[in-house]
A = this chain, B = another copy of it.
Amino acid sequence: MMIEIAGKDDGAGIVAVTSHIDVFTREEKDCVTELWQEYIAHGAQASGYTFLVAREAGEVAGYACYGPRSLTTGTFDLFWIAVDPHGRRKGLGRELLAQVEKEVRRAGGRLVFVETSGLEKYGPTRDFYLGTGYTREAVIKDFYAAGDDLVIFTKHVR
């Protein structure tokens, strides 16, 4: 397994992994594609998005997308992190997240900021952040929709 900064040829693999993530809505899948297109068209600096990919036997098995939050000094958003269901329980998500934190540090970052949903189906996602050193900082009721709360996790990475 290898984690690297994603290149143009990883687009198909990222779209394929995304299509396998059942908890993502249509809008969320489209959002991943939009961020990917921005990243490929304009680069990490101008787009504000960086994609990392985890490859297994040459195939994209997972990815993460992060970028600096504007108007902050050293806070980075983790926009997306996804691992193909076939590749789960191998620690791929943890390794991807650790690499994001390493890249954030390298870019001078201090804080990783994660927004996720309070829905039951996102329970494993929330457990994932709690198990990787993130703090559940806030819950905003009915943020995504009535009955669908925003849960904010953060981690100081310095």
Partner-B contacts on A (CB < 8 A): 25, 27-28, 31, 70-75, 110-111, 113, 137-140, 142-146, 152, 154, 156
Contact = CB atoms under 8 A, between A and B. Distances in A.
Q: Chain copies in the assembly?
A: 2
B28 A145 contact: no
Contact of A146 (B27, B110, B137, B154): B110
Nearest to A115: B71
Given A137-B140, A138-B137, A31 B145 contact: no
A152 B146 CA distance: 18
A71 B27 contact: yes
Contact of A145 (B70, B72, B154): B72
